[in-house]
Amino acid sequence: MFLRSKHLLGTKDLQKEEIELILNTAESFEEVLEREIKKVPTLRGKTIVNFFAEPSTRTRTSFELAAKRLSADVVNISGKSSALVKGESLVDTARTLESMRVDAVVVRHRAAGVPHLLSRVGNFSVINAGDGMHEHPTQALLDLYTVRKRFGNLRGLKMAIVGDILHSRVARSNIFAFTKMGIEVVLVAPYTLIPADVEALGIEVFPSLKEVLSEVDIIYLLRFQLERQEETFIPSLREYSEFYGLGSAELKNCKEGAVVMHPGPLNRGVEIRSEVADSTISLVQAQVESGVAVRMAVLYLLLGGVKK
């Protein structure tokens, strides 16, 4: 079985079987990462460009490690150091990369749709590593992988995504991906931070965490995006933390076996308090750990192989 597209632009376009293929392949790569020599020659000779026009530590490092552990060559371009600051258009950047015969471009950009644009211009594979408020598919895939590893299965679980849904590409990708795999998703957020079209997806919305805490297996806390708060969406950070933050007091009302997830970076004391972030119900570290194996699987399935 193959992925149908040579690009990974969002989880919205993925079929359930494709997601399963990625997760199963990631399992094979996890074994590779446990070896002393954490490297296989699978993508030898392929060139992958990491094009990050927005800041990132974990995603960029994770993609770079994934590519290197598959023996691909990696080139990093950041927003500030690229010719974009000299006024080069994205289309011209894509053509430049195409002329240099790169095989894949991993792109993060503050504008939604940039990966899609690149995928139409170049003949390389494009992997979306986060575009504006649109999608961040590999985050959703590694989250699914982490959940599957912890619970053994996906179907029948219930997850609450908590926080700034409106500005969150992670929330969007996770809603599409988790629902496809049979997980019930509910949203918890102030109404100002809920996208207008969310009811069309048939997803329930709750105004405070207390109302759903005892029913969900996965509490997925989003990062409160302090940099996007130039408009006033909430009365105060303290009030936000009161209604949507998770501390040890709230944990007492959790379902047994429930887990807490967060895409990082953490705002300790805002959406998550340290006593939760560092507790045994937190999968935050496990999520980061899954990242490399899942991204290896994505790169391998998009770039490896002679497709007959």
Q: How far apart are CA 257 and CA 268, in angstroms?
A: 23
Q: Which residues bind another protein (CB under 8 A)?
A: 1-2, 17, 20-21, 24-25, 27-28, 31-32, 35-37, 39-42, 70, 300-301, 304-307
Looking at the DSSP assignment, which residues form a beta bridge with residue 162?
A: 188, 221
160 or 301: CB nearest another protein = 301
Pick between residue 38 and residue 120 the one whose CB is nearest to another protein. Answer: 38
Q: What is the rounded distance in angstroms from the CA atom of residue 267 to the CA atom of residue 116?
A: 31
- Among 293, 275, 192, which residue's Cα sits nearest to residue 240? 192
Nearest to 260 by CA among 225, 291, 292, 216: 216
Closest-CA residue to 240 (of 188, 190, 170): 190
Q: How many CB atoms within 10 Å of residue 9? A: 21
**For 253, which DSSP code?**
T
Closest CA to 187 of 222, 153, 146, 156: 222
Cβ(177)–Cβ(152) below 8 Å = no
Q: At its nearest, how many Å lie between another protein and the CB of residue 33?
A: 12
Q: Rounded to an integer, what distance in angstroms lies between the CA atom of residue 19 and that of residue 256?
A: 28
Shortest distance in whole angstroms from residue 254 CB to another protein:
32
* C-alpha distances in Å from residue 69, one per residue of 44, 153, 308: 10, 28, 26
